[in-house]
């Protein structure tokens, strides 16, 4: 009997945990739960006898992998796996997977929610503007970007996208205007929605040069990762460009400075909330459980992201 551990500092909805338990127990395995842990030592203790691990943005580094002597697989219930040290996992003979697409509608809905809040001046009682007719630039056209496009069309926005890895034809097939460069996306669109992963190439890539290309009244929406933003440059730019707004679901390292300097032009959720819906938790959590059982019982490696 394998032991599957859910280790989530930010817990799933209870209904999702029940669904995961059903999948694991029906496969003849056992579920253990570590939620809302506050110290890494708690995670190190809990992983000791786990054969499989389900995490969210929880950090799985070399130390965690060293402690998890029996671990065979870790599934990041979600899209981005920048929280997992892939090389260390490979060195420990641990398979790493994600569950792409399972929480993308939730994140997309939150992105649109942040947009509405920003163009309505954070509901401060003054007259705002509407999303209808505005040009939206989707930066990276993956699962979340596609859902943002679908919903934004319902709002009557004019939707553009740029994705370094997605062919123009695939973007246009989805009824979205593909632009030739990231610079063109930013100079064309009043609203930019970020959906790039945090990688060596994208870290700090959203800088003053790029955001400074946005037209007057530009709104930058971040439901991706804080690491992609060059925070010092964005702060300097927003000091100069008093028309720009920044709304984010990932609190910046310089949150206090942003909040103090840009009242009425800046908002951050206190904790990343994009994927925090019952539906997304159920979809991603159950997918993770099924992928674990598929790997343990049949060796299925679909969605493996390390070597
Ligand atoms: C993801 O990469 O799937 C999202 O950023 C959601 O992350 P979370 O599970 O930590 O909320």
103-123 confidence digits (pLDDT tens): 999 999 999 999 999 999 999
55: helix, strand or coil = strand
DSSP letters, 152-189, are: HHHTT-EEEEE-TTS-HHHHHHTT-EE-SSHHHHHHH-
What ligand 1 atom has the least distance to the C-alpha of 56?
Answer: 9
Mean pLDDT, residues 173-190 taken together: 98
Out of 97, 102, 275, 282, mutate this one to test ligand 1's pocket (max ligand atoms within 8 Å of CB): namely: 275
Task: Yes or no: say if 268 and 251 are a contact pair by the CB < 8 Å rule.
Answer: yes
For the CA of 276, the nearest atom of ligand 1: 11
Question: Residue 260: what pLDDT?
Answer: 98
Q: Measured between alpha carbons, how far is 118 from 257 in angstroms, rounded to an integer?
A: 19
Of all protein residues, the one whose alpha carbon is nearest to atom 9 of ligand 1 is 56
Confidence label for 14 from pLDDT (cuts 50, 70 and 90)? very high
**Rounded-to-integer distance, Cα 189 and Cα 41, Å:** 46
CA-to-CA distance for 103 and 10, rounded, in angstroms? Answer: 15
Banded model confidence at residue 183, pLDDT cuts 50, 70, 90:
very high
Q: For the chain, what percent of residues have pLDDT higher than 90? A: 100
Q: What is the 3-state secondary structure (H, E, C) of 131-162?
A: CCCCEEEEECCCHHHHHHHHHHHHCCCEEEEE
Cβ 271 vs Cβ 5: under 8 Å: no
Buried b (16+ CB within 10 A) or exposed e, 185-195: bbbbbbbbbbb
Instruction: Give me 83's structure tokens.
Output: 């929280």
pTM: predicted TM-score of the whole model, two decimal places: 0.97
């Amino acid at each position: 009997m394998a032991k599957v551990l859910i280790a989530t500092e930010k817990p799933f909805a209870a209904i999702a945990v029940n669904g995961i338990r059903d999948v694991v127990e029906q496969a003849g395995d056992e579920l253990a739960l570590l939620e809302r842990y506050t110290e890494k030592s708690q995670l190190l203790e809990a992983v000791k006898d786990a054969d499989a691990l389900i995490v969210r943005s929880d950090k799985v580094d070399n130390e965690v992998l060293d402690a998890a002597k029996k671990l065979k697989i870790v599934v990041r219930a979600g899209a981005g796996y920048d929280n997992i040290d892939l090389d260390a996992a490979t060195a420990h003979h641990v398979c790493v997977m994600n569950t792409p697409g399972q929480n993308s509608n939730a994140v997309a809905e939150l992105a649109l929610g942040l947009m509405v809040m920003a163009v309505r001046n954070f509901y401060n009682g003054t007259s705002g503007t509407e999303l209808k007719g505005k040009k939206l630039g989707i930066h990276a056209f993956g699962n979340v970007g596609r859902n943002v496009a679908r919903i934004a069309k319902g709002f009557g926005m004019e939707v553009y996208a740029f994705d370094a890895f997605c062919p123009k034809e695939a973007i246009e097939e989805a009824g979205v205007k593909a632009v030739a460069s990231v610079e063109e996306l930013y100079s064309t669109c009043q609203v930019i929605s970020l959906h790039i992963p945090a990688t060596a190439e994208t870290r700090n890539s959203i800088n003053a040069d790029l955001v400074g290309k946005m037209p007057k009244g530009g709104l930058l929406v971040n439901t991706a990762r804080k690491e992609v933003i060059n925070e010092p440059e964005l702060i300097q730019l927003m000091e100069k460009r008093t028309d720009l707004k920044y709304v984010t679901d990932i609190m910046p390292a310089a949150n206090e400075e942003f909040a103090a300097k840009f009242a009425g032009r800046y908002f951050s959720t206190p904790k990343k909330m994009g994927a925090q819906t019952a539906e997304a938790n159920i979809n991603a959590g159950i997918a993770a459980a099924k992928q674990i059982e598929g790997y343990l019982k049949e060796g299925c490696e679909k969605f493996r992201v390390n070597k």
